[in-house]
Amino acid sequence: MQGYNCIMVYSHDGEKLLLCKRTKDPYKGLYNLVGGKIEKGENGYEAAYRELNEETGIDSNKICLSHMMDFTYYNQNCYVEVYVGQLIEETILCEETHPLHWLSINEDFFDDNRFAGEGNIGHMVEQVRIYGRGIKQADMQKSAIRPISLSVTTMGADGCKGGWIVAVINKGNLRIDKFTSLYEAVEEYPDFDEFLVDMVIGLQSDTNHIRPDTYARKIIKERSSTVFPSPCRQAVYAKTVADAYQENERVLGKKFTPLTVGIIPKIREVDIFLQNNPPLKNKIKESHPEVCFARLNGSTVLSKKSEMDGMEERIRLLKQYIPELNLHKVSALAKSMKCSIDDIVDAIGLAVTANLVSQGCFEVIPENPMSDETGLLMQMIIPK
C-alpha cells in the first residue's frame, strides 16, 4: 500500500491557508494542498518535511508539523497522512511545479469547482477548526512507554529472501532498508551504536559449548518451537545437507530440523562476515524477535506472526516505543520491498531492543556466555 501526504500550512497569523494551483492532472486547474509521495524507508514526519521543503522552500526551522489524521483508500491501495503546521514568521516561498497561493481560512473549501479532493480539504479544515492540529512528533515520543533514546543509532536485522531487512532508529527516526548483505548495511551505517541480528552467532564445535537456545525456549515456553536448534560449526560449513546432518550428529550427538537447514546459508553468511571483519565481532550481536516481544509484552505473545492478528498485536507492542507505526505502513513497505510483513516487524523489534540496550535496559542469556572457537560469544541480547 503506497503512502502519500498532504500538508496544511497556516500563515504565521493563522488567517490563511497555503494551497497550490494544479497545472496538470489530477485536479488540473483546482486548488490543492501541498504534499506528495512517501518514499521507501521514510517515516511520516521525514516525508512531510521533505515534501514541504521541495514544494514551498519551507523547512523545519520555520514550522512545526503535527500529524492530524489519515485516510486509507483500500480501493486504490494507498493511504494519505495529513500534517498541519503554522509558520513561525512570514516566509518567502519557493515554488516547485505548481503556483502557490495563500487563501483565507473563511473560503468554502468544500467547493469542488475550485478545490481538489471531493470535499476532503473542507473536511480537514473543519477538523483543525473544531478539534485542533493533532500530535507533534515530540509529543508522540513522550507518549512512548519508555522513550527511545534520541542520541544513538541502533539497528535490527532479519533475514529475508534476497538479503536482509534492516530497521534503523537514528536519532529517534525509524527507517527501513533492504540490503543484499550485512556488509552493505554496515557500509551505509558505519557509526551504529548497537546492532542486533535474528541469526545464530557463535557456533558450537563440541558438546562442551553452551549456546543460549535452551534459555530462550524457557522464556517463551508456549512458543519454544520458534527457537530453532542451532547447528554446529562443522555442519554449517558442510558441503551438502546430508553431510550437515551427519556432522551435527557426529559432533553434538543430535539431529536438527528442516527449519534449521533453511537458515544454514544465512548462519554461514553472518559467520564469514564477522570472521572477515574482526572489529565487528561481538559488536553485532544475536537476538531473537519472539523472545524480545515476550519481554516487551511481559509474557509470551501467543498469536502467530503468520496471521494478521499476530502482526497487529506485535505492532501494538512496538507502538509503545514508536507511536507512528501502523499496519498499513508496514504492509506497504513489505509490498514495495518484496518481503514478508513479519520480516519488517521483527527487524523493528530488534532495533527497539537495540535502543533499549543502549540505555542499559537489557539482559544477556546465558548470564555468563561462552565463546566459540573463533572468539564469538554464544549469547542472546534481550530486553530486561
pLDDT in tens, 280-323: 999 999 999 999 999 999 899 999 988 888 999 999 899 889 98
| Entry pTM | 0.68
Please list, in sequence order, all residues whose beta carbon lies within 8 angstroms of the beta carbon of residue 39, skipping any fewer than 6 positions away.
47, 50
Question: What number of other Cβ atoms are within 10 A of residue 105's Cβ?
Answer: 14
91, containing H or E segment: none
Distance from C-alpha of 359 to C-alpha of 369, rounded to nearest angstrom: 21
Which tens digit of pLDDT belongs to each residue from 263-277?
999 999 999 999 999
pLDDT at 127: 93
Domains of the chain: 2-139 (3.90.79.10), 153-231+262-383 (3.30.420)
Place of cell 485542533: 132
Do 216 and 291 meet the contact criterion of CB atoms below 8 Å apart? yes
The 10s digit of each residue's pLDDT in 199-226 is 999 999 999 999 999 999 999 999 999 9
